[in-house]
Each structure stands twice: as C-alpha cells, then as structure tokens.
Amino acid sequence: MQVYYMNGAGNDFMVLDARGKQLDFSRLAVEYCRITGADGFMAVDDSDCADFRLHFYNSDGTRGEMCGNGARCICRFAYDRGIAGEQMVVQTDAGLVPGWRLDENQYRVQLNNPSILDLNRTEEAAYVELGNPGVPHAVAAYEGDLWADREALRTRMEALRHHPAFPKGANVNFYQMLSEGEARILTFERGVEDFTLACGTGCGSTACVLWKQGKLPGGVLTAHNQGGTLKVTVTGKDGEVSSLLLEGPTQVERILELDAV
C-alpha cells in the first residue's frame, strides 16, 4: 500500500488513499507513525457531501476532529493524486473544510469557525473549539523567550493540556508577540503528548483569541512555528468570527510501500 510521508510547516503525517478499503485506522496510525515519528495519520475516503472525506488520527491511535496542517497536506495529496482539483471541499468530523491550491507547495484551507471562544476559561488560558464537535485549544500569552524556554515550560503545558476546565483535554498553545500581527507559537498536542513543530488549528485559535481581544487590528497573524511560518486571516464582526483562513507550506518527504497491519 502506497503511503505518503508529508509535512506542513514541520507538522508531519502519514497519508493514504483508503477509498473502497476496510482498514483499522487506529491501528494503522500507531504502526505507521512509529515508522517515521509522525505526529498523525490521515486517510482519504469517499464522501457524499464533499470531494472526499478526511479521517484523522493522532500518533497514539486516538481520533481527532480535524487538523489544520493535516487538512492542507491532504488537499495537496488529493490534488497530486487526481482526487480533486485546485479548489476542493473536505469532509471532516468538525465540519466541511474548503481548500485551495495556491502553487505546488502552498495550500490554504478555511478552518472551521469557533463553536466556543472563551477568553477567560482559566486564570491563565482562553479556550477555543474550532468546529462542532470542535478541536479543543488552550491559548495563553508568554512574556519570555518562548522557544528558548520550551523545555522549562513542558511540565506547565502538559498540566494545562489535562486541566479539568477543558472537558476533552486540549492542545496547548503559548504565544509570544513579536510585533503587531506577528507572534511565535509553541504547541503541546494532545494525542501526540509532546511538543509539535507546528499546529495549524492552534495558530488559528491563537489568531481568534487575539482578534477578539482587539490585538489583531489587521485581522492577519503571521504565526512563526519552530517548523515553519503560517498565515492566519480572521474576519468577523461584533466578536463573532465569520471566516478563518490558514495558509502555508506543504511538502512530500517520501512515498513508502507499506503493508496493511
């Protein structure tokens, strides 16, 4: 079975075309991600309401509602394999996600709008769910050198990932503002249970929090992750997000021939 090893701004995935196949996705996620150390696993399936359906699993075999960088990668996978054209719609557990090919490597998706955007869920963090059921995120500002302090922050971020205020757990996103509309992001992801080099929905959630706080007047966040830079564009009015776009690089690392497990 042909499996693509891909990454979006350093967020890496094992990807396959599962249309017409009966496969144990949870088991495949664990086995395939172990081969490359990937953050997640994705399978393309048939859909009756979109160009195709995305099944997303974390590296520990748990199912995820959606993944922003994963959605961008799956759009490239679908285009490269002739499953969809330059504009497409992806069915996810969190809702429908439109996607666009900008060039060979750059892809944009429209993330699901927040179903929850609570700026004061805990003393430290806001809480955001993108979609319904939503991808859960804790978002908090950090005043120090975020990337240099990464290991010193591990215990704190891991504890926040399991905070009882977050009913499904949460991806934890700390941000360090560099200038107006520009920030560093550090993410500790549920299901990976470690730092990842980028988190697309995490960057989107951070942008929503900054926008609602009035700290993103242009509506555009340049989000620097340790694996690469993403652009998030937020539009809306009266504190309600109406559109959330995520744009950035994708890469096919290699194509592997693997057995189903």
Q: Which residues are annotated as catalytic? A: 67, 199
Alpha-carbon gap, residue 55 to 63, rounded angstroms: 8
Q: Are 185 and 173 in contact (CB under 8 A)?
A: yes
User: Measured between alpha carbons, how far is 32 from 242 in angstroms, rounded to an integer?
Assistant: 37
Token readout for 161 is 């990932």
119: tokens are: 């700026």
To 5 degrees, how large is the angle CA 197–CA 216–CA 7? 20
Which tokens belong to 19? 């249309």
Report cis status (omega within 30 of 0) of the bond before 164: no
- Between CA 245 and CA 111 the distance in angstroms is 6
Tell whether the torsion through CA atoms of 120, 200, 195 and 42 is positive or negative: positive
Residues in the chain: 261
Can you read off the two tokens belonging to residue 258?
């693997």
Q: Are the C-beta atoms of residues 12 and 6 closer than 8 Å to each other?
A: yes
Among 56, 25, 44, 15, smallest CA distance to 200 is for 56
- At residue 144's C-alpha, the angle toward residues 197 and 185, to 5°, is 25
